Amino acid sequence: MFILISLILFCSSISVDSYITWIEARVPLQGTRPSPGTPWPLPKSLNSTVRTVYLNPMEFYFTTNGRFCDILDSSLTRYRPIIFQGFNSSSSGPSTRTELRSLMVQVDRPQECGYPQLGDDESYSLIIPFNSSQATLHSATVWGALRGLETFSQIVYHDDEYNQCIVNETRIDDWPEYTYRGMMIDTARHFIPLKVLLINLDAMAYNKLNVFHWHLVDDQAFPLESKVFPELTESGAYSSKHIYTQEQVQLVIDYARMRGIRVLPEIDSPGHTKVFGKSHSELLTPCFVDGKPGVPNPPHHSDADILNPMRNETFQFMNQLFAEIKRLFKDQFIHLGMDEVYYACWSSNPDIQALMIANNWTKVNQVEQHYVRQTLKNLKDLQYKVMMWQDPVDNDVELSSDSVVEIWKDSELGEFESWDKYAAPIIRKGYRVVIAACWYLNYINYPYPGQFWEKHYQCKPRAFTNDPEEKKRVIGGEACLWSEFADGTNILSRIWPRAAAVAERLWTDPPVDDLDSTRFRLDQQRCRLLQRGIPASPILPGHCGKHDWGLETIPTIYPGDRVTP
């Protein structure tokens, strides 16, 4: 049975007036400007002609066989105003132009309508005919249908001559190159308001990213509401206003689900846990100086650092916390962090030294291995799959075969080799990896901030190996925004449109031989994001027409204000 969705809505101008130009006249821009309605990320296979059909927003409707899937129903309702945003005419245009009356969304398995998981099929095909009133979007799953609807929303554009919504005759067959296309946001160093997280989920969907890696807590703050250990939140959040309640977390998860986005929680340990000590000082390892406990030694350690691996109570506490996370979040995976376990505090502690002697350990990294192994055992009992930063594997910890390792170390950080030197041996151990090292969005100094997207775009996650089996184990990558210098005021403009460059690399993995033309396409996507309410930063001088941010906003003039005409 098919469901028909038709809303009476005045269609809006969905043309994207993107225009960029040079920084200096002596260095003109090269490349080819894109046609209107060019999708981002580029599909794997796109065949389009110059023949066009028009859409009358008063009469256009969707049909689908997915009537029992709330994700599909919601998406059809959501995309209609996106497609017809701001267009207020139903002009019929030239008599030779066919009217496209509907889009049929056909899903092979519409009953698979739960929460997205790693490895979901996101492929789709989209056919816009010239001689028929119905277009067709076909996918195996609802996740593919979501990606196809996003593409459809981008290829419809505005014909200025006839004041119409039009679309070219088109055939698209599309699928992602990488199954994991993520974005990590740190909400501990600065609290990121809930509404900003939701807006960012919209932007991720507009660029076909499918994992929100939520770095929930860190040394500075514990903003997640815990009902098992409420004291963690009460003592660890910046204030009572800087808390994500469990109801709000569920809202984020459900909002992401409707957009085909996984929400992957990260609870970092044994490092990055200073905030735990505010309510549970017994969890941290006391640091020693000259035989005295609880003495800081900057920059090597504070008074107490890193979870204490000597106490069984530490593991019992963390296991209860992980169990609560498992009940709250819907993903099969948890991200364990496990990065940057600095050994200075452990090395200073005589009890840690006694533990090493008792177990015949000669290196401090064996203490870390002990913590990681016990934590992994506990998580296996919880039936959790794990993802973590690369550090434990670098330190010879053996993980289960279904684990995912995230590569973050890179020469750009100043103290490491290039990221591929770390990825290669981890891949050869048989692990699946996700690359983050190329895409730290909190770095913006190359050579102009607006051009940093070029470096992101040129990073090819599988280029370091020629072995087909090794290439398969690189399952994706993610853009990361650590929030030392970002909060709700600037985080979206820090992320976008640079994350769009990451998104196309992970979806299409196109050649990098024409960055000049890609620059024009990225600017068009940047203006499209502005049109949809995302405050994406400019990449060069220019404008987005009437969609420029705040163009029509007039500040309130109060009595007594001095205003010069």
Residues designated as active site: 340
351's enclosing H/E stretch is helix 350-358
DSSP 8-state symbol, 432: E
- The terminus-to-terminus CA distance of the chain in angstroms comes to 63
Contact 212, 204 (CB under 8 A): yes
Amino acid at 279: S
Whether 391 contacts 406, CB under 8 Å = no
With beta carbons less than 8 A apart as the criterion, state whether 188 and 220 touch: yes
| CA 206/CA 147 separation, integer angstroms | 9
Amino acid occupying residue 494: R
Could you say which DSSP state residue 275 is in?
Answer: G
Helix (H, G, I), strand (E, B) or coil at 297: strand
Tokens linked to 281: 């000082």
Decide if 83 contacts 27 (C-beta within 8 A).
no
Q: How far apart are CA 256 and CA 194, in angstroms?
A: 13
CA–chain centroid gap for 227, Å, is 27
- Alpha-carbon distance of 166 to 93, in angstroms, equals 10
How many Å is the Cα radius of gyration of the chain?
A: 26
Side chain identity, residue 36: P
Q: Please report the sign of the dihedral spanned by the C-alpha atoms of residue 433, residue 518, residue 47, residue 511.
A: negative
Tokens of 457: 């775009």
Q: How far apart are CA 396 and CA 31, in angstroms?
A: 48
103: tokens are 């889009």
DSSP string, 50-81: EEEEEE-TTT-EEEES-TT-HHHHHHHHHHHH
CA distances from 153 to 131, 147, 337, 501 (A): 21, 10, 37, 19
Question: Under a CB-based contact definition with an 8 Å cutoff, are residues 310 and 356 in contact?
Answer: no
Could you give the CA distance from residue 182 to residue 479 in angstroms, rounded to a whole number?
6
CB atoms within 10 A of CB 509: 17
Query: DSSP label at 86?
Result: B
517-537 residues labelled b (16+ CB within 10 A) or e (exposed): ebbbbbbbbbbbbbbbebbbb
CA distances from 251 to 187, 214, 481 (A): 16, 14, 22
Contact 106, 141 (CB under 8 A): no
